[in-house]
A and B are shown apart, each in its own frame.
Chain A
Amino acid sequence: MIVIAEKLNGSIPSCAKAIAAKDDAYLKDIAAKEAAANATFIDACASVKDGELETLKWMIDAIQAATDTPISVDSPDVNVCIEAMKYVVSKGGKPGLFNSVSGEGNKIDVAFPILASEDYKKWDVMALLCDDTGIPKTAADRIRVFDAVMAKAAQYGIADKRIHIDPLIEMLCTTDDGEGISMVLEVMRHIKETHPQVHISGAVSNISFNLPARKLVNQAFVVLAINAGMDSGVLDPLSQDLMGVIYAAEAMIGLDDFCAEYTSAYREGIFGVKKA
């Protein structure tokens, strides 16, 4: 599982407080913990109304001071993502994740040429399956957006393996009768079958929004999603039970020969550590 660690996000109240107070010690501490918990990317999302890019740059400075784990530059504004990506590179950071584009407006046509250029060709990119028609309600419509994204990727020369698709995980508690998560799983299976190199991602904890004991819902979701092809996710690597469930589920579908990843992650203390 490609873990995009989610805790440095201004839409989380404790992080918003740290951002408002310019408390970089808080950010460094979280970034170091996420890196130690096997995060593949440390996501940085300012989620502030004014001065988003400046805030994001400040967050990048703090993260880079704490770890060399690649950064996911996260904004709904592609121009902010582009500037943040350039900033990471200018500061000597490793290639990270451009988070994100979607079928909306000209986002892809702005971002993909830059991602295809020599300086940024090792960066991955997250694409959300929404477009100018909104957040599609059916699997067929989300797949239509996926096909449009992949056509653009081919046009600009973005390799499948650099692409993470967020099929848009929505809260379980308001899904229609008998629907559950079947629609989003159908989208995942389609991507896996047609483009096996494309990473299937998404914001895991969205699934449990507005429900009690959210951690259990998140864990059940990752098992089903991994079985449908999910191999990347925006999630909390400090949640030991979630990480353990992910490693276990991956071993069960044959992605972890002799459970080597599972056992070594256990030995590293990623999960299964008894609380003192």
Chain B
Amino acid sequence: MATLQDVAAAVEAGKVKLIEGITQEALDSGVPAEAILNDGMIAAMGVVGAKFQANEIFVPEMLVAAKTMKKGVEILKPHLAGDSVGKNGKYIIGTVAGDLHDIGKNLVALMIESAGFEVIDLGVDVPAEKFVEAIKANPDCKVVGASALLTTTMDSLKNTVKVIIDAGCKSQVKIMVGGAPITQAFADEIGADAYTPDAGAAAVKAVELLSK
């Protein structure tokens, strides 16, 4: 019968076709669903993120691991208490106004979800006001992520952060920023709480920000 370690190993290796069977077997052998989720899957994704940051694995390998977890979670859902999926609360994410790029943003969203958040994806070309609306509509959301991929939309990112702060949302959420032209220095300059260079780092940082 499958164990917690088998689930973790399957997620880590991206065994997308096997995960449903392995997850079901683990449930059948008496492993609690919460343990499978937290100590099996989320823990495995932590390892995946770390390996990616250490250049041991590549983006598609990280992507398939996250997709594997997502499939396994579907098996777990009926066995989980209502709010166990997304135990870290909600995470609002979007690409800023004027910018249409979504591949990197989607990858971050997937990794954030794998770290135990319920992701609310506002999509691309998101006006700053829409971020504020979403934050206010979700009082249990503690972290927001905004992305800009062009040098020409860096100002839009700056504005997004400013509008979120001016709307008085800073007492509720921490703001993370990212995207190809973004740097730590720029994030500091515009008043964001965190910058991460890649999706693996973003997932780690999001959890870290919860305890700040």
Which residues of A pack against B, CB within 8 Å?
Answer: 10-11, 47-49, 52, 75-77, 104, 130, 132, 134-135, 170-171, 173-174, 210-212
Contact = CB atoms under 8 A, between A and B. Distances in A.
Question: Which of B106, B155, B181 has the most chain A CB atoms inside 10 A of its CB?
Answer: B181
A173 B61 CA distance: 9
Contact of A173 (B58, B102, B155, B181): B58
Given A49-B181, A135-B101, A174 B107 contact: yes
Contacts of B100: 104, 130, 134-135
B178 to A, nearest CB: 15
A212 B58 contact: yes
A104 B152 CA distance: 14
B183 to A, nearest CB: 11
Interface residues of B, number: 20
B151 A174 contact: no
B103 A47 contact: no
Contacts of B102: 134-135
Interface in B70-116: 100-103, 106-107
A170 B155 contact: no
Interface of B: 58-60, 63, 100-103, 106-107, 123-125, 150-152, 154-155, 180-181
B29 to A, nearest CB: 30
Contact of B60 (A49, A75, A210): A210
Contacts of B123: 134
A115 B211 CA distance: 56
A253 B10 CA distance: 44
A77 B102 CA distance: 20
Interface hub of B101, B106, B123 (most chain A Cβ within 10 A)? B101
A211 B58 contact: yes
B59 A174 contact: yes
Which residue, of B60, B63, B180, has the highest number of chain A Cβ atoms within 10 A?
Answer: B60
B107 to A, nearest CB: 7
Nearest to B158: A49
Contacts of B155: 49
B60 A47 contact: no
B125 A210 contact: no
B181 A11 contact: yes
Contacts of A10: 151
A172 to B, nearest CB: 8
Contacts of A173: 58-60, 63
B150 A76 contact: yes
A130 B102 CA distance: 12
A171 B63 CA distance: 13
Contacts of A75: 152
A134 B103 CA distance: 12
A174 B64 CA distance: 9
